[in-house]
């Protein structure tokens, strides 16, 4: 909880950026506060739409909460972003996760 307090304090001081939001999301996920984490991930992406790790984490978190359509969209956009950046490892990981979501039951 101390990490969250420190990160929230930075946010309150106006130091809002993609990395800070991503860090907050990860800390809230550790506490099981998924909706708060999703909000921070969306804000991380708003700050930096090319932050492929945030897209990957958003897709994974949405999938884990059963929001499959949203997760698919996050992965599709994340793959596009990662490929544009040349971040091929993250793109491949998201492609695997996306295929699993699209697999018929």
Domains of the chain: 2-102 (1.25.40.10)
16: left (phi over 0), alpha (psi -120 to 50) or beta: beta
- In contact, 24 and 10? CB cutoff 8 Å: no
Alpha carbon separation from 85 to 11, 37, 43, 62, 100 (Å, rounded): 27, 25, 20, 23, 24
C-alpha–C-alpha distance, residues 3 and 45, integer Å:
21
Each residue of 40-52: pLDDT tens digit?
999 999 999 999 9
Q: End-to-end distance of the chain based on CA atoms, in angstroms?
A: 39
Each residue of 63-94: pLDDT tens digit?
999 999 999 999 999 999 999 999 999 999 99
Q: Can you give the pLDDT at residue 7?
A: 95
Residue 22 has φ and ψ, to the nearest 5°, of -65, -45
Is residue 105's pLDDT more than 70? no
C-alpha–C-alpha distance, residues 29 and 40, integer Å:
10
């Amino acid at each position: 909880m101390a990490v969250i307090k420190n990160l929230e304090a930075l946010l309150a001081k106006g130091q809002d950026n993609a990395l800070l939001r991503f860090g907050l999301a990860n800390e809230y996920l550790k506490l099981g506060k998924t909706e708060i984490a999703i909000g921070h991930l969306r804000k991380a992406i708003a700050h930096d739409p090319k932050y492929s790790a945030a897209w990957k984490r958003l897709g994974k978190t949405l999938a884990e909460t059963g929001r499959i359509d949203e997760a698919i969209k996050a992965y599709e956009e994340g793959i596009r972003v990662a490929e544009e950046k040349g971040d091929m490892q993250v793109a491949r990981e998201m492609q695997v996760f996306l295929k699993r979501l699209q697999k018929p039951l």
